């Protein structure tokens, strides 16, 4: 993967502190693995009463899915904005993220795709410890992305 493919600012609609991911570790046409350390930041924008609820792992996963979609777009093609419309089978294995010493590893695997949306399975872990897992449905505006293939 080239350094340009790792440019998260180009791949995500989020800016500043809301860009939660640090790097894309690997990507294929079906999946992506990202890394993040922002869960330890005292000024994390999603903290509530000084804590970062484990439910925020879903946002980390959604950003990994958005990055994956951006990587799948043909060069120069506009990527249709996605909207997270459903999360199913969510399992949280922690109460908060802020106390985790390890970086988060976020994996998202596309399990279904259609003209109007995508379904991903995702896992978020810290070291060998699972933090969250589930499935997410993303609706695509304007009929989807222009695929490289």
- Digit-coded pLDDT (tens) for 107-120: 999 999 988 899 99
pLDDT at site 140? 87
pLDDT tens, the chain, 149 aa long: 334 334 777 788 777 889 999 999 999 999 999 999 999 999 999 999 999 999 999 999 999 999 999 898 777 776 777 899 999 999 999 999 999 999 999 999 999 998 889 999 999 999 999 999 999 999 988 654 444 44
Which CATH number is 118's domain given? 3.10.129.10
User: Does residue 64 form part of some domain?
Assistant: yes
pLDDT at site 62? 96
Per-residue HEC secondary structure of the chain comes to: CCHHHHCHHHHCCCCHHHCCCCEEEEECCCEEEEEECHHHCCCCCCCECCECEHHHHHHHHHHHHHHHHHHHECCCCCCCCEEEEEEEEEEECCCECCCCCCCEEEEEEEEEEECCEEEEEEEEEECCEEEEEEEEEEEEHHHCCCECC
User: Does residue 111 form part of some domain?
Assistant: yes
pLDDT at site 13? 74
User: Does residue 149 form part of some domain?
Assistant: no
User: Does residue 28 form part of some domain?
Assistant: yes
Nearest of 115, 121, 117, 119 to residue 134 by alpha carbon: 121
Nearest of 79, 145, 76 to residue 114 by alpha carbon: 145
* pLDDT one-digit tens code per residue, 110-146: 999 988 899 999 999 999 999 999 999 999 886 544 4
pLDDT at site 142? 67
pTM: 0.88
What's the total number of domains in the chain?
A: 1
Q: Which domain holds residue 49?
A: 3-143
pLDDT at site 57? 98
User: Does residue 148 form part of some domain?
Assistant: no
């Amino acid at each position: 993967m080239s350094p340009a493919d790792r440019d998260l600012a180009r791949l995500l609609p989020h800016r500043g502190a809301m860009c939660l991911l640090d790097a894309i570790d690997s990507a294929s046409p079906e999946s992506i693995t990202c890394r993040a350390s922002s869960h330890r930041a005292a000024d994390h924008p999603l903290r509530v009463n000084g804590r970062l609820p484990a439910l925020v792992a879903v946002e980390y996963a959604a950003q990994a899915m958005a990055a994956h979609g951006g990587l799948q777009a043909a060069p120069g093609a506009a990527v249709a904005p996605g909207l997270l419309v459903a999360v199913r089978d969510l399992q949280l294995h922690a109460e908060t993220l802020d106390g985790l010493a390890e970086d988060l590893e976020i994996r998202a695997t596309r399990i279904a795709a259609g003209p109007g949306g995508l379904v991903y399975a995702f896992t978020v872990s810290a070291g060998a410890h699972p933090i969250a897992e589930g499935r997410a449905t993303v609706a695509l505006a304007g009929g989807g992305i222009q695929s490289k293939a």
